[in-house]
Amino acid sequence: MHDTITLPGLGGSGDTHWQTIWERDDARFVRFQPASWDQPDLDDWEQSLERAVRSCATPPVLVAHSLACLLVAHWAARFPSSIAGAFLVAVPDPDGANFPMEAAAFKTVPDRALPFPSLVIASTDDPYGDIRATRQRASAWRSGLIVLGALGHINASSRLGDWPQGRALLQAFGAGLSR
C-alpha cells in the first residue's frame, strides 16, 4: 500500500471519525497539519498539503473528507507534485445552503479534470453535498463515483466506527493505482 495522507475537513476529524481511527490503526496514515482546522485559510491548507506530499518517500494516496476534497482540487491546480491518487469522501457543494461561511475562500473550485486517479464516495442524504452537485463535480474532475446510500455526511455523526466498507473501497482503489 502507498503512503497515505489523511485530509480532514473543517474542524478536523475527532476521536470517533473514521479518519482518526484509520490513523490510529495504521502507521502509514499521516494527517496533514494546517494552522487552523476551524478557520481554514486556503493558502495555508494548500501549503500544508504540499509539505505533507513532499515529506513522503513515494507519491502518496490522499484520503480527503468534506472541505478537504475541495482543497485537493485547489492544490492540484496550483502545485505540480505527484500523488498516486485521491479518495474523496463527502464532497461538499460550495453553492449549497449549508456550506460554512468560514470556508468561503474554497468556494470557487477548479472544475477541470484532476491530473491523477480519483474516486468520489457519496451519500444520498449528505446535508453538505446534494447528490446532483456531487455527480457534476465528479464528472468535471473525471473522478470515479460510488454512491453508498443514506450515510449522512459520512463522518462521526454517521456512526460508522472504523467504517470497514470505506476501508475496503480505499483498498480496492489503491490496488488499481500504479506502484
Q: What is the pLDDT of residue 157?
A: 78
In a structure prediction context, what are the per-residue pLDDT tens digits for the chain, which is 179 residues long?
579 999 999 999 889 888 999 999 998 899 999 999 999 999 999 999 999 999 999 999 999 999 999 999 999 999 988 999 999 999 999 999 999 999 999 999 999 999 999 999 999 999 999 999 999 999 999 999 999 999 989 887 788 888 989 899 999 999 989 65
Q: What is the pLDDT of residue 179?
A: 57
CATH dotted code for 4-175: 3.40.50.1820
User: Is residue 71 within 8 Å of 64, Cβ to Cβ?
Assistant: yes
Rounded to whole angstroms, how far apart are CA atoms 123 and 110? 22
Q: What is the pLDDT of residue 68?
A: 97
Prediction pTM value? 0.95
DSSP-assigned beta bridge partners for residue 63: 6, 87
Question: At residue 140, what is the residue type?
Answer: A
Grid cell for residue 26: 495504521
